[in-house]
Amino acid sequence: MSFTNVENQVELIKEISGSDPYKCMKCGKCSASCPSYNEMDIKPHQFASYIIRGDVDELLSSKSAWKCLSCFACIERCPRDVQPGKLVDAARQLAERQRGGDHLQADEIPELLAEDLPQQLLVSAFRRYRR
């Protein structure tokens, strides 16, 4: 996945996640809350700067992208409503969209529960459907 226009990519991620990475003040409360922190190479408080810089590829190829449990502890506690969990989720979704997997049919889900779809995507999909 590659983007020529960094601002555009940031805009897309902002749109999907509904959050603004520029608001992050690097206080570290997300990293302090994250149950997967020790498993991650890029830590939650770094997500925002990776996205601002356009280093989405690096973020997605890191362990962190798939170690995030979508537990949303960080989202709950972030003092500036940056929602790093949603940012990384948006990055994952962006990658999926680029691969053509744009949306999900409810009755396809049981089938997808099988091997290769990352658990995290399903979790966030469920959250979306529940609304």
Partner 1 sequence: MQRIGVFVCHCGTNIAATVDVKKVVEMVRYEQGVVFADDYMYMCSEAGQEKIIEAIKEYKLTGLVICSCSPRMHEKTFRACAEKAGLNPYMVEVANIREQCSWIHKDKEEATKKAVILARAAIAKVNLNTPLKEGESPVTKRALVIGGGIAGIQTALDIADAGYEVDIVEKEPSIGGRMSQFDKTFPTLDCASCILTPKMVEVNQHPNITLYTYSEVEKVSGYVGNFDVGIRKKARSVDFDKCTGCGECMTKCPLGKIGHIPSEFDRGLKNRPAIYMPFAQAVPAVPVIDRENCTYFKTGKCGVCAKICPSKAVDYEQQDEIVTVKYGAIVVATGFDIINLDKFGEYAYNESPDVITSIELERLMNAAGPTGGHLERMSDHKQPKDIVFIQCVGSRCDNEEKGKPYCSKVCCMYTAKHAMLIKDHWPDTNITVFYIDVRTPGKNFDEFYRRAVEQYHVNYIKGQVGKVMPQPDGSLLVQAADLLDGKQIKMKADMVVLAAAIEPNPGVRKIATMLTASIDNNNFLTEAHAKLRPVESPTAGIFLSGMAQGPKDIPETVSQAGAAAVKVVGLLAKDKLKTNPCTAQCDTLLCNGCSTCANVCPYGAITYEDIQVNDHGLRETRRVAQVNLALCQGCGACTSACPSGAMDLQGFSNRQITTEVDAICR
Nearest to 59 by CA among 32, 29, 85, 92: 92
All residues at 6 or more sequence positions from 106 whose CB lies less than 8 Å from its CB, including other chains: 129
Q: Locate 44 and state its tokens.
A: 């939650």
Interacting stretch for partner 1, rule CB under 8 A, among 15-23, 61-69, 83-91, 109-117? 15-23
Only one residue has tokens 């997300």, namely 30
Q: Quick one: 17 or 33, whose CB is closer to ligand SF4?
A: 33
Gyration radius from the chain CA atoms: 14
Using CB under 6 A, which of 17, 62, 70, 93 touches ligand SF4?
70
Partner touching 29 among ligand SF4, partner 1, none, CB below 5 to 8 Å by kind = ligand SF4
Query: Number of helices and strands (H, E) in the chain?
Result: 9, 0
State yes or no: residue 46 binds partner 1 (CB under 8 A): yes
Using CB under 8 A, which of 9, 12, 33, 45 touches partner 1?
45
Partner touching 30 among partner 1, ligand SF4, none, CB below 5 to 8 Å by kind = ligand SF4
State yes or no: residue 49 binds partner 1 (CB under 8 A): yes
